[in-house]
Amino acid sequence: MTASAYNPRVATGYRLEELAVAFDRVMNPRDWMAPINSAIPAAERGLVEQAVLWFTKTVPRFDPIPGHPGRLAVTAFDPLTIHRQEHHS
């Protein structure tokens, strides 16, 4: 694997700082590994998609929010994390 794969700008088109800010807006503030369930402006979809993928290696899902044009619901979870949490509860 080349060094460019570890460079967020090359791999995603965004700087690490941009990815971090976007991820911070959608992650669960009490547990960054918890499932993501948030709402974002539709214009931020590309950035948020890359941020979630960069930090969690999980592909987020985006759905329109009825009655809120220009906003998207974003959800993402890692099935392995959920499985581990269920077995440790």
Cα 32 to the center of its chain, rounded Å: 10
Domain with 38, as residue range(s), is 3-87
> By C-alpha distance, which of 61, 42, 37, 48 is closest to 14?
48
CB-based contact 46:12 (threshold 8 Å): no
How far is Cα 49 from Cα 43, in angstroms, rounded to an integer?
11
Over the stretch 2-43, which tens digit does the pLDDT of each residue have?
556 688 889 999 999 999 999 999 999 999 889 999 999 999
Question: pLDDT per residue over 37-76, tens digit each?
Answer: 999 999 999 999 999 999 999 999 999 999 999 999 999 9
pLDDT above 50 (res 87): no
- Are 42 and 68 in contact by the 8 Å Cβ rule? The answer is no
Looking at the structure of the chain, the number of domains it has is: 1
- 3-state secondary structure at position 59: coil
Q: How confident is the model at residue 83 (pLDDT cuts 50, 70, 90)?
A: very low
The percent of residues above 70 in pLDDT, for the chain, comes to 82
